[in-house]
Amino acid sequence: MPQAVGAPLPLREIPVRPSRMIHFFDPSNEKMVGKLDRLIPTVDVLLGNLEDAVAEDRKLDARHGFIRVAQEHEFREGQLWTRVNSLDSPWLLDDLVEIVQSVGGKVDVVMVPKVEGPWDIHYVDRLLAQLEAKAGVRRPILVHAILETAQGVSNVEAIATSSPRMQGLSLGPADLAASRRMKTTRVGGGHPGYLVRNDPDSSDPNASRVTAQQDLWHYTLARMVDACSANGILPYYGPFGDIRDTVACEDQFRNAFLLGCVGAWSLHPVQIDIAKKVFSPSVDEVKWAMRVVRAMKGAGAVMIDGKMQDQATLKQCQVVVELARMLAQQDSELRDAYGLDAAEQTQTAKETQGGLP
């Protein structure tokens, strides 16, 4: 049943499309908007940001700038998202009303910040249905929630299941740190003070002791990945604020990828390439996974290069192959690198029978 008379039917399954990077731009910044023609073909998701990082006196320019961008550009295989203002702001209502009315048919996903619980999604959900019906939008606009308050993290499972519009969740480490009263002043990444130190050497108690930084975000990210995967929606790492520290950005993104995330935000063009590299499985990994899938055809267990393979490792390999296949459909460079020709793609698709999300 549609949620409003004339609104599109809710989806039964969230479409899984490449979204290795959600690239943020400020639609009130004309210089940035001027570069979009060249940028759009390089990103999986382009997101017009209306919330934090846009000054209060630029909020309306950002909203109207986003509408113009949606009207003036084609996104082909890419997606267009917007991050609207939060529910406790005076801008959210008009953000949704004006955007759905003017370009609702072109927006794939609305990212909602500072979501506290399922009630926030219910509000956006009903409102979107009314606006879709009024504007004659034919496919449902999906919703993505940022996990960036302590209450939101406590309610993450309920948020993930709050609506068939739920496309995914992103970690918002900056707001979350503030909400939890963590003592960091950075946007994502590690902290030199959050560490574990080796025990003292009993024969030399004053010798210096090795320390290792720990991941401040591991608990939240893992919880978010479980909430998403258990409910067929997609988890993303959020922003990494130190644009110049490309090495640590890559590490943070890779941790998220290995843990189950499908993408991260890019706040600067330099992070687009990092995300593309990290969130596309490596050629070696894909070739290995394809080898396992082939070798396991009909077998209970096999040894490959001294490593035991069984149904569980097969399933892991299917996840990698299926992701590679999906990315290769859109990215000819990857298709060549993975060695997936058209026949191979169809074959692996049949073999894997859907390893995602």
Rule CB under 6 A: choose which of 175, 322, 331, 351 binds ligand GLV: 175
Six-digit token pair at 270? 């330099």
CB of 52 to Mg ion, least distance (A): 5
Residue 238 found at the interface with ligand GLV (CB under 6 A): yes
- Smallest gap from residue 253 Cβ to Mg ion (A): 18
Total of residues contacting ligand GLV (CB under 6 A): 11
For position 132 contacting Mg ion by CB under 5 A, the verdict is no
Picking from 272, 270, 244, the residue whose alpha carbon sits closest to that of residue 22 is: 272
Token pair for 343 = 């026949």
Instruction: Choose which of 26, 120, 175, 351 interacts with Mg ion (CB under 5 A).
Output: 175
DSSP output for 185-225:
-SSSS--TTSEEEPPPBTTBTTS---EEE--TTHHHHHHHH
Q: Please name which of 269, 210, 215 lies closest in space to residue 237, comparing C-alpha atoms.
A: 215
Whole-angstrom Cα distance, residue 278 to residue 270?
13
Non-local (6+) Cβ contacts of 142 within 8 A are: 11, 14, 108, 109, 110, 165, 166, 167
Whether 110 and 82 have beta carbons less than 8 Å apart is answered as yes
Site for ligand GLV in 185-204 (CB under 6 A): 187
Task: Choose, by CB under 6 A, the member of 168, 239, 355, 357 that binds ligand GLV.
Answer: 239
The residue within the footprint of ligand GLV, chosen from 174, 243, 283, 326 (CB under 6 A), is: 174
Give the distance, in angstroms, between the CA of residue 46 and the centroid of all CA atoms in the same chain. Answer: 12
Number of residues that bind Mg ion (CB under 5 A): 3
**Three-class DSSP category at 80:** strand
Cα Rg of the chain, angstroms? 22
Q: For residues 226-285, which are near Mg ion according to CB under 5 A?
A: none
Closest distance to ligand GLV from the beta carbon of 148 (Å): 5
Decide whether 147 or 286 has the Cβ nearer to ligand GLV: 147
Smaller CB distance to Mg ion: residue 24 or 288?
Answer: 24
Q: Is there a contact between 215 and 148 (Cβ–Cβ < 8 Å)? A: no
Binding of ligand GLV at residue 95 (CB under 6 A)? Answer: no
User: Applying CB under 6 A, which of residues 152, 173, 263, 355 lies at the interface with ligand GLV?
Assistant: 173
User: Binder to Mg ion among 27, 104, 164, 172 (CB under 5 A)?
Assistant: 172
Residues in contact with Mg ion by CB under 5 A are 148, 172, 175
In the complex, the residues that contact ligand GLV under the rule CB under 6 A are 52, 113, 146, 148, 172-175, 187, 238-239
